Amino acid sequence: MASITSSLSNAEYRAVKAYSKSDLDLIHKSSALIEWSRNAPSDGSEAVQRGTDLHCALLEPDEFAAQYIRQPEYDLRSSAGRASAEHFRESMASSGRIIMAASEYDLVCAMRDSVLAHPVARSLLTVSGKSEASIFWSRDGIKLKSRPDRMPDIEHFGPMLCDVKKVGDMDHLEKSIHQFRYHVQSAFYSDAYHQLTGEYPRFVFIAVGERRSIGRHPVRVVELPVDWVDDGRSEYLADLELVREFEEYGSSLDIEVVKRPAWTLKR
């Protein structure tokens, strides 16, 4: 039986022992990567942090305003500028707020503002609903979890889930969907919602480009065709069979076989 809660932070959600779509992405390559991800500490990355900051700005605007602060622009080439920057950080230390470099803060805000300038994206993100709620469910005895970015209340658009995606180049959105298995996410999250409510939702991606185009960050609101989502469902169900083997036998000697790129076959 599926359940939903809005009371968990992202860290608390990640700590729950259940398989997420990100876990399935790992086991799709090798079950050994599951153990590796659990055992190898990670400090994150600039790209991941930017995505986290953007999600907060869009989905939790009050939290973003309260917790984030823009560091003034100092000339860090000079000793006076470096001293001023250090003084600013020290003055903010007790506040617990997240200090962002001016350029990074401005980029996140520009991307947020571009998304909210899109009428459909703005409607999906600002009507009443749940942001970053956690759904816990199961399939064939395997515990699973999903965390949709946005669930507009059903009276607005019917059953719907929304996910915000930061993409490097909007011209290659379809390639990103395939590369990062967003079609798998669409099926996985839709099945979680169905188990929770008895209905299948529309699953909508709100994509915003990091790279400016004609002076602004491009935005697209898209959903995937049924056949692509069906392929995603087949993929995640196959991944669950690998999960079952992993839980019974461990990773054993699971060595990846690299697929030969097509360009190496050209003469």
Phi, psi for 90 (deg, rounded to 5) = -65, -40
* Structural domain boundaries enclosing 142: 18-38+50-249
Give the pLDDT band (50/70/90) at residue 87. Answer: confident
The tally of domains found in the chain comes to: 1
Question: Cα angle vertex 18, ends 98, 24, to 5°?
Answer: 90
Mean pLDDT of 155-183: 95
- Rounded CA-CA distance 103/114 in Å is 16
Burial class of residue 231 in the structure, from the number of CB atoms within 10 Å of its CB (0-12 exposed, 13-18 middle, 19+ buried)? middle
- Please report whether residue 136 resides in a domain: yes
- Please report whether residue 43 resides in a domain: no
- Please report whether residue 140 resides in a domain: yes
- Please report whether residue 242 resides in a domain: yes
CATH code for position 77: 3.90.320.10
pLDDT of residue 91: 80
Mean pLDDT of 43-72: 88
Phi, psi for 202 (deg, rounded to 5) = -75, 135
100 vs 13 pLDDT, higher one: 13
Does residue 54 contact residue 164 with C-beta atoms inside 8 Å? yes
Query: What confidence tens digit (pLDDT) does each residue in 216-247 have?
Result: 999 999 999 999 999 999 999 999 999 999 99
Give me the residues paired with residue 221 across strands.
206
Give the pLDDT band (50/70/90) at residue 144. Answer: very high
The beta strand positions in 61-125, using DSSP E, are 68-70, 98-100
Q: How far apart, in Å, do the first and last CA atoms of the chain sit?
A: 55
The beta strand positions in 21-173, using DSSP E, are 68-70, 98-100, 129-131, 134-139, 142-146, 150-152, 160-167
Residue 254 reports pLDDT greater than 90: no
Task: Please give the radius of gyration of the chain, using alpha carbons only, rounded to the nearest integer.
Answer: 21
On average, the pLDDT of the chain sits at 92
46 vs 148 pLDDT, higher one: 148
| Percent of the chain clearing pLDDT 70 (strictly above) | 99
Does residue 191 contact residue 233 with C-beta atoms inside 8 Å? yes
